[in-house]
Chain A
Amino acid sequence: MNQTNPTNDGRNISDKANESLDVLKNATTDEYKYGFVSDIETDIIPRGINEDVIRLISRKKGEPEWLLEFRLAAYRHWLTLKMPDWAHLKIPKIDYQAISYYAAPVKKESPKSLDEVDPELLKTFDKLGIPLEEQKQLSGMAVDAVMDSVSVKTTHSEVLAEKGIIFCSFSEAVKNYPDLVKKYLGKVVSYRDNFFAALNSAVFSDGSFVYIPKGVRCPMELSTYFRINAAGTGQFERTLIVADDDSYVSYLEGCTAPMRDENQLHAAIVEIIVEDRAEVKYSTVQNWYAGDKDGKGGIYNFVTKRGLCRGDFSKLSWTQVETGSAITWKYPSCVLAGDNSVGEFYSVAVTRNRQQADTGTKMIHIGRNSRSTIVSKGISAGYSENSYRGLVSVAPQADGVRNYTQCDSLLLSSTCGAHTFPYLDIKNPTAVVEHEATTSKISEEQLFYCNQRGIPTEEAVGLIINGYAKEVMNKLPMEFAVEAQRLLQITLEGSVG
């Protein structure tokens, strides 16, 4: 335990704090504990992308013709696009022909019960701490596990089915509920939306599908775990959530990947449709492999996430804890089209070593009296770059809009960067839109205060950071909050200096 002599001399306080920080700096850096590779027989198609590859993916998945046409249209559009370069990121050139666009654990048929699932696969998810086993039903969470590009197992489907809730892999949804998928696919994120949305629409291989019928409150948290396992592949999954009138669902996603020297691309799409008076809570704990301390390897996480609050009084809440990925580039957004609809975005983004993040949200206010809240907390350490970029747009017809944005950055080293790029576009005189941002380091007074009360610097930093991120952590479901809090501590261990 550190002993600090109370003194009125500011210099002494500062020296003491610096000394303690040096101790912390030299502390062992935490290793990425999900960096193992599972020895699972995997079906990988040759690298490269062209129309034949897309036809092959579609054939492997046994898809209907309309979906193949959707993919091909997306691919043809993608060919006309150039990778955007406006983000505050340094992205090495990506060779899209060097990626394999389909990798799946070899499985004969869709598993009917747990006994049919590859034991190695179960072991993998067990290592990740994911309750796939049916005896863990009491954990009160339904899980869809996506390995590489395909969904390997969804639990609790039957229980949910009793309430009319559909929670299954995207491929199953295409087979069993083609009308629903056709009705909603690409309605929120069109394949024309952006470069990565077009790429995903062309090659997506699986994902999750959720449909909550009218008036149903989902009795448990729905959760998807994404795992990249195979080398030389990208992951392109798609999540589609539809919450019908008066329904409620809380959805969680988590992601991990092995430690490799190569960079792997993850370009997913999440589409959410929220109808009248429905509410969707979408939580993410993103812990993709971030590369080593020199920035070698790691996942490029380029994801398009958007929800359409179509119904009046509908509500969509995004909560994210971003600690992984070499590069994160995503803006979970809310299109608040319904009158009195509500959008929320709570984010903690942590970058360390050579990580880069350009993340934030968009709140597009179209409906009258729509409201949105944005709370973004960035924590940068090492040589990392952490940017918040957000848009609040108020359409001319959107009377009575209210937005509040708070975005704070905490710098934990003198070599990192923390940036804020908010865009406010107001086209209605009744809107009240506010944005506040601050950037600072952990104050020496705070550290000294903790030291003085016998709390070592390491613990004090953890305490202060958790306090700083608490506003966001509080929004996470209980199951994730504990994990996220631990993750935050582990991630920043040894990063302060």
Chain B
Amino acid sequence: MNSLTQYIDLYRQNADAINSHSALIMNEMRPAAASALEGKRLPEKGDEGFKVTSIEKMFEPDYGVNILRMNIPTEIGRSFKCDIPNVSTLLGVVVNDSFTPTSTMRQNLPTGVDVMPLSKACETYPDIVGKYYNKIAPANEPSVALNTMLAQEGLFIRIGRGVHLESPIQIVNIFNSPAPLMGVRRVLVVAEQDSKAAIFFCDHTQTADVKFLSSEIIEVAGEKASELDIYSIEETTPLTSRYSRLFANQENDAKIRVGTATLHCGVTRNDFTINLKGQHSEGYLSGLAIADGQMHVDNCSNVNHLAPHCDSNQLFKYLLDNNAQGAFEGGIYVDPKAPFTVGYQNNRNIVASPEARMHTEPQLLIYNDEVKCSHGTATGQLDANALFYMQARGIPYETARRMLMIAFMTDTLDTIKVEGIKSRLMMLVEKRLGGEQVLCNDCHADCHTNISTPRE
């Protein structure tokens, strides 16, 4: 008996209802996913790669799942103003796990680009969905199988062959429910040959006094010579838990940059797996976390070099205060078939309070001698000499400290290649470090108001 049991039972008892509100391709995958879960459990704290985070515990509470697809008003998206300076984005909103494009997106989406609900994509592009859905993520891993078994809806993004999308696609994920809810989020991104695009996810929670769990699987197919930037910001609440897993397959000459920023959350675990399957493909990962209070941020990255002449780089930075817990597990795997690999990984952390905790596990698994690989990690404090230098020049202690913290985060932000997104993140990080509410200008969302007793 573990946390999976309740979900398997839920599926078994409601299979018809689940199927009736979803699409055929997704439904066909459910029985095998349910079977894969039998006798399995989700990772527990202490398991290899999960030293400080228990996924089992995350999924243990009795969350509601919106099987009957009850209508939750999407107007909620209007209160969010996730502004990206000087850039007009193609905005879409996912409330819990249902996607709705905004009118801006509908009107401005260029030919060759599709952003639509996954169920609709199953009808419009059955071949593409059939080719990639549940094929990039390891279907039999419990967290993936759980998502496949229960996912009824999702988001599908296709960047057509040769299309260079100028405006970033911005997806605002919002949790909103009067009762505890698990959002089974599923995303499939297909970047066709020679295409180029940037996708930006903002995660928010509208109802701050309700518990939410996001079970998210993102599958990315990077076809030949495609170039994708995928960035995400999490600004949720202490009662929001998140287990997000991104899997990307990169073909020849494909390039992907993935960035994540965790600014507010409850318990968050992000997994990134990039498979460099084609020659000369590239994968870049970056992450930053600014955590205080009881926040728990755990990022796990795995870059698998499976073909010759591939490059990768990973950079993760954490700033931990109060009782925050941070964790970073990162791996570079070089297959025997992947000579001429260049793979780097870097993790830097600042632990700013006696109660904050940091756990890191950077790993290298190298099976080929034609490689240049390295990793480095350091955990410490702000440079006392630099702090003194600035104070000696009349900068007050607090300001000097904040400036150094921003400087510490800067190289992570520099990995973001879309200027507007970078400026926005910089603004949010500055606000965050200044102790202000992390809100975009004119945003009227109430996710950062004081938390009262949780509603059960």
Contact = CB atoms under 8 A, between A and B. Distances in A.
Given A409-B366, A414-B336, A426 B359 contact: yes
B336 A435 contact: no
A437 B369 contact: no
B415 to A, nearest CB: 20
28 contacts: A411-B368, A411-B369, A414-B336, A416-B367, A416-B369, A418-B364, A418-B366, A421-B363, A422-B361, A423-B361, A424-B361, A424-B379, A425-B359, A426-B358, A429-B351, A429-B381, A432-B379, A432-B380, A435-B376, A435-B378, A437-B374, A438-B374, A439-B364, A439-B366, A439-B372, A439-B374, A440-B373, A441-B369
Given A411-B366, A414-B339, A414-B368, A436 B374 contact: yes
Interface string A74-104: 0000000000001010000000000000000
Given A415-B336, A424-B359, A424-B377, A429 B371 contact: no
Nearest to A396: B354
B357 interface: yes
A376 interface: no
Given A396-B354, A429-B352, A430-B381, A419 B365 contact: yes
A489 interface: no
Given A414-B370, A428-B351, A440-B372, A434 B377 contact: yes
Interface string A88-128: 10000000000000000000000000000000000000000
A105 B360 CA distance: 49
A170 B50 CA distance: 41
B328 to A, nearest CB: 9
A417 interface: yes
Interface residues of B, number: 36
Interface string A274-294: 000000000000000000000
A412 interface: yes
Contacts of B370: 414, 441
B424 interface: no
A433 B378 contact: yes
Given A421-B363, A424-B359, A438 B380 contact: no
Nearest to A419: B365
A462 B48 CA distance: 37
A17 interface: no
Nearest to B376: A436
Contacts of B373: 438-440
Given A411-B371, A426-B349, A429-B351, 16 more contacts: A414-B339, A414-B368, A416-B367, A417-B365, A418-B366, A420-B375, A422-B363, A424-B377, A425-B51, A427-B357, A428-B351, A432-B379, A434-B376, A436-B374, A437-B362, A439-B371
B353 interface: yes
A155 B228 CA distance: 70
B131 to A, nearest CB: 33
A429 B339 contact: no
A431 interface: yes
Contacts of B91: none
A420 B330 CA distance: 11
Interface string B302-341: 0000000000000000000000000000000000100100
Nearest to A429: B351
A157 interface: no
Contacts of A423: 51, 359-361
B366 A431 contact: no
Top 7 A-B pairs ranked by shortest CB distance? Answer: A411-B369, A432-B380, A441-B369, A420-B364, A438-B374, A434-B378, A439-B373
B366 A422 contact: no
B376 A419 contact: no
Nearest to A397: B354
**A: contact size bracket:** 35 or more
Contacts of A416: 367, 369
A426 B369 contact: no
Interface of B: 48, 51, 336, 339, 349, 351-381
Contact of A435 (B354, B362, B381): B362
Contacts of B374: 436-439
Nearest to A420: B364
A413 interface: yes
Contacts of A435: 360, 362, 375-378
A14 to B, nearest CB: 11
Interface in A380-434: 396, 409, 411-434
B326 to A, nearest CB: 9
Nearest to B355: A396
Contacts of B365: 88, 417, 419
Nearest to B47: A86
Nearest to A423: B361
Contacts of A430: 381
A429 B366 contact: no
A416 B371 CA distance: 12
A428 B359 CA distance: 11
A419 B372 CA distance: 13
A394 to B, nearest CB: 8
Contacts of B354: 396, 428-429
A86 B351 contact: no
B339 A421 contact: no
A433 B371 contact: no
B363 to A, nearest CB: 5
A413 B51 CA distance: 33
Given A412-B369, A426-B351, A439-B374, A433 B361 contact: no
A409 B353 contact: no
Pick from B354, B364, B368, B378 the residue with the most CB of A within 10 Å. Answer: B364
Contacts of B361: 421-424
Contacts of B359: 423-426
A412 B369 CA distance: 7
B363 A420 contact: yes
A461 to B, nearest CB: 13
B122 to A, nearest CB: 41
Contacts of A409: 364, 366
Given A414-B339, A423-B359, A432-B380, A437 B351 contact: no
A327 to B, nearest CB: 18
Nearest to A430: B381
Nearest to B364: A420
Nearest to A411: B369
B332 to A, nearest CB: 9
A113 B353 CA distance: 63
Contact of B371 (A88, A413, A427, A440): A440
A414 B356 CA distance: 43
B371 A437 contact: no
Interface string A121-144: 000000000000000000000000
A425 to B, nearest CB: 5
Interface string A439-464: 11100000000000000000000000
Nearest to A436: B376
Contact of A433 (B352, B368, B380): B380
Interface string A159-174: 0000000000000000
